[in-house]
Structure 1
């Protein structure tokens, strides 16, 4: 059952989402060759708790850490470790925070030093597909409209869309209705209405869409060993239109990137 949020609840969710956004911004400065994902995980937990929030993933379904850290061919749900990152890696960092009874859930795939052009393009297209999907998240449209937009954009570049893992509704629980696949047919699925909040998160592979799971019971990786990218935003429907609750602007500030990609999804520009 889809749980509609009031304006007041949406603002509480924005607070949780922005804690996650700020966490990713802190981590952006630290993602570099030689750093371990376990070190980044500890930094994230400390920062989230300093904001008066609780790490949203830690203990959720018995997950052992604050961050899902998924390098290279790992798609999502990677467990932090003491293995250092190396030049040319990519790393998907997925983070959650719980504050005021509501979750934020937000992800970004980072470059570790200089990466090869083929992988850089995968990251660019995956992030662009996220916004293609968000544009379709508006009152009167349906789940299939978002999935089709993401799928069409990525498959036109020859990439594989993961089927088994999807975006989701968000609120007092990390995973609520509706499920938000990154593939689909226009006009199909549940209809979007005012006050809905979802996490839209394309998971896109350089090669095949097929995946495997490691014996740790968590880590998902591409079947062909090629890289995978993952970007995620929290989005509400406000006045019939998509309104971003999360932001990549803290990441961009840390990395020295200028971007206005989010401006069309905000009533008021976010000052960082």
Structure 2
């Protein structure tokens, strides 16, 4: 089975800075990592390959430097990596990103299963996975916590919901997004790291995947960010003095006085 895992490079730090003029994240000088949720998708793809055979290809869209992050995934056990990199992709929202990734998957061809992390930690939209499936015209399952069975023509999995989980069967090819409960990602092996060091990361431009210019980048993004900002932290503290008993009593009086309880 040919398996594709879509991954994203995200800022490593939680100290996110925003450019007030462009309303975009400031990425210069900020270390990047593979989106943590995507690591679970890569691990699950490798486990499926180990059971059923086939290949695992990781696919990402981003700047040229994202290629180095993909080597880590080859070290884990992915067979190869493809990076969609082109200035034409700049400014893509989730819909434009999904169009590009779907075109990349179509170029790979004969893909039986696509995996994604449930969401990216920098956007938290959880939209790209389902949008890729819609672009490709295939079924999808979100929030998968366990793959129970996978065959040539179908997949049975458990997907989380607010009340527990559902056991669902869908035909292949299909796309699933996974949650962290599905597995524990492995560390790259020494042999894998040596292979990753020598690996050639394939780069495709927008023209090479036949992406529609009207559906990528800012032109292809129906979502426009008018304004983005970090709220100012406003804290009002109160210090209680005296013995521990007096401080506790003062705290209780303050809580009762404000009608918190």
TM superposition score normalised by structure 2: 0.27
Larger radius of gyration: 2
TM superposition score normalised by structure 1: 0.26
